[in-house]
Amino acid sequence: MQTGRGALSQHGDFWYPVRLIQKVEGDWRVQWWRGAHFTLTIVVAGGISLVEPADIVDSVWLDCKNRRMIWLRRWKHTCEVENSEDILADPTRIPYTKDIDDLLSPFRDILSKLTTHQFEDLKGEVISVKSWLEGTKRPLTSTLVPHVGSLSVLGRARIANWFDVYMTLKDKEIRLSWLGYLPIAHAYTLYIAHSLTFDEKTVELSWEELLGQAWKVQLTGTPSWLVDVDVECECLYQLKEEMFKVSA
């Protein structure tokens, strides 16, 4: 079994799909498939847990006997899962996590001013996407920003949900001022900058320098309209292929 692969993990009497995140002192940190229907409520669909190796199996390729001994519980299949457009078009679908709240909350005032177009109040702030738009001579309030770096669909959806809770404030008209535009693009930059604080190559940089590096990462990634891969969905799809189509 390898990091990033799909697998099955036992919870109670049944087995559910997971994505292998990393090995931790002999155990596996896994993310449970978000479409799983658990009989017990100790774990949460889409949540992350540490699981012992004895409770994890791969696709059991070419091993019909052992595969038939695995009791699979019900879950939502990949063909039933919303695609990236569905997920990103509705910010209420995927709830934000505590990590995202902790990361974005200190910048709530800046993000609010970007959302309400109070640009004059932000002259001293490092907002790379704003500078980029100004350099292109395109409108700050109505130009779509497709640059997302390597952020996953789910990561962006969770950031969008945080925006919807704290910026939209139940006014769907306000959503039109940030969804796909400058405000949320800057939130992506903040997220990427935070991740760079754990990189040994950038750990010595100031926050302003990190923001600049983050924008470079964001800008050089493939635009969102060209590649939006649902990593969890891909893992489950490949697992099912090995279990039911190419395995004897």
Nearest to 133 by CA among 219, 217, 194, 211: 219
Using alpha carbons, select from 177, 174, 186 the residue that is nearest to residue 130.
186
The answer for 98, left when phi > 0, alpha when psi is -120 to 50, beta otherwise, is: alpha
Question: Which sequence spans correspond to the domains of the chain?
Answer: 6-81+231-245, 84-220
Helices (H), the chain: 64-68, 84-89, 98-104, 108-115, 128-136, 153-163, 172-175, 182-196, 207-220, 231-240
Distances (CA, A) of 93 to 79, 135, 140, 145, 162: 17, 34, 27, 21, 11
pLDDT in tens, 34-62: 778 777 667 777 778 888 888 887 766 55
Host H or E run for residue 38 = none
| Residue 70 contacts residue 43 (beta carbons within 8 Å) | no
pLDDT digits (tens, 9 = 90+) for 128-141: 999 999 999 999 99
CATH architecture of structural domain 6-81+231-245:
Roll (2.30)
Number of neighbouring beta carbons within 10 Å of residue 186 = 27
Q: What pLDDT, in 10s, does the model give residues 59-68? A: 665 556 555 6
Find the range with the poorest average confidence among 78-82, 139-143, 231-235.
78-82
Burial of 7 (0-12, 13-18, 19+ CB in 10 A): buried
Find the length of the chain.
248
Mean pLDDT of 208-221: 90
Q: What's the CA gap between 17 and 87, in Å, rounded?
A: 21
Distance CA 6, CA 70 (A): 16
Amino acid at position 78, single letter: T
- For residue 153, the SS3 value is helix
Average pLDDT on 76-83 reads 67
Is residue 70 predicted with pLDDT exceeding 70? no
